[in-house]
Structure formats: structure tokens, C-alpha cells
């Protein structure tokens, strides 16, 4: 699930997304990953107490759920501060929160199963797993060629 808020991030907007997530989690009844792109925000109007209580509520609501990944794409000091606070308060819980300052890093690490070919074409880099899989494919192909040549030599007709 992707969320990209615009304008001012305040308590009403956070309560709205928390309520939406709660309803979606009940409706789907299986875990899903979340991505919040906070780059389009103009300002942040939150305080420590509100973020603390919201993170504590989410942490307690998820104690019996399977783990889920949440990623925040942050571009400013305010969004970074509150996203870090949320990550610290939900640490050691089923909510695994990560912060990213570059969109390419979010995609390149395969956080949300973006294909390696897309990452290579779009950003000109390979993830570690993509490089490993491509190397393994080349090795298997070469082993197949060698075994084919050996088989051809072994079963050659002698006239």
C-alpha cells in the first residue's frame, strides 16, 4: 500500500491514515507492506506526545499479528524526525520501519519486491541478489553447453 500525503501533516491526517490502515487490515486479513512518500508535504504539525501515543497504539495493536514492513521516504528534517521517532517506538515489534532519503535506494534494496531488471534499467545499478541470480544463470548455461559438447563427443558414430 502506498500513501503520498500533500499539504500539512497534522494529527487529523495521521488519524485518518491510521483508521484507513486499521480498516484495510481487517478487510484483507493478511499482512501487507506499506510505503509512505512524505516528499510532497509542505509542513509537519505534530508533537512528541501525539506521535508517541500513535506509535504505542500501533505497536500494541500489532502484538499478535505477523510482521509487516513499513518504509518512509523522507526529504526534510521534520519528516525525518517524526519518522525516526515512530521507528524507534515500534522497534522490536512486528512493525519493521525503515527510513529512506533517496527513492532509488528504496527501489534498489528490493524493499517492495521491485524486479532487478527494472532497477537496472531505471537506476543503472544491480541489487546484490540480481547480480547473484544473473551470475548463476550464466554458470548454469555454460555448464549446459559443456555437457552438450561432452555428450556429442561420447556418442559420435565411428564409421
Q: Is the pLDDT of residue 12 over 70?
A: yes
* Residue 120, pLDDT score: 63
- What angle separates helix 48-61 from helix 77-89, to the nearest 10 degrees? 40
Say what the pLDDT of residue 156 is.
66
Q: Which residues contact 136 (CB under 8 A, 6 or more apart)?
A: none
Highest mean pLDDT among 8-12, 21-25, 63-67, 94-98: 8-12
End-to-end CA distance of the chain: 68
Q: Which residues contact 50 (CB under 8 A, 6 or more apart)?
A: 11, 14
Diameter over CA atoms, the chain? 90
Q: What is the pTM of this model?
A: 0.59
**Cβ atoms < 10 Å from Cβ of 59:** 17
Distances (CA, A) of 108 to 73, 122, 140: 13, 10, 25
Please check the confidence at residue 107 and state whether its pLDDT lies above 50.
no
Cell numbers found for residue 26: 481487517
The per-residue pLDDT for 61 is 81
List, for residues 32-66, the tens digit of each pLDDT value.
788 888 888 888 998 999 999 988 888 888 787 78
The three-class DSSP label of residue 98 is strand
Residues ≥6 apart with Cβ < 8 Å to 57: 18
> In the predicted model, is pLDDT for residue 118 greater than 80?
no
Position 157 scores a pLDDT of 65
Amino acid at each position: 500500500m502506498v500513501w503520498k500525503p500533500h499539504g500539512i501533516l497534522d494529527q487529523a491526517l495521521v488519524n485518518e491514515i491510521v483508521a484507513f490502515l486499521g480498516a484495510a487490515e481487517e478487510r484483507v486479513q493478511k499482512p501487507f507492506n506499506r510505503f509512505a512518500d512524505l516528499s510532497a508535504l509542505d509542513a509537519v504539525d505534530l508533537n512528541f506526545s501525539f506521535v508517541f501515543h500513535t506509535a504505542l497504539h500501533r505497536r500494541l495493536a500489532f502484538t499478535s499479528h505477523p510482521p509487516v514492513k513499513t518504509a518512509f521516504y523522507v526529504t526534510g528534517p521534520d519528516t525525518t524526525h517524526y519518522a525516526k521517532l515512530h521507528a524507534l517506538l515500534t522497534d522490536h515489534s512486528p512493525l519493521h520501519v525503515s527510513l529512506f532519503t533517496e527513492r532509488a535506494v528504496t527501489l534498489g534494496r528490493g524493499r517492495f519486491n521491485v524486479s532487478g531488471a527494472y532497477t537496472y534499467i531505471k537506476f543503472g545499478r544491480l541489487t546484490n541478489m540480481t547480480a547473484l541470480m544473473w551470475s548463476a544463470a550464466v554458470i548454469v548455461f555454460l555448464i549446459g553447453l559443456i555437457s552438450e559438447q561432452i555428450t556429442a563427443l561420447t556418442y559420435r558414430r565411428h564409421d
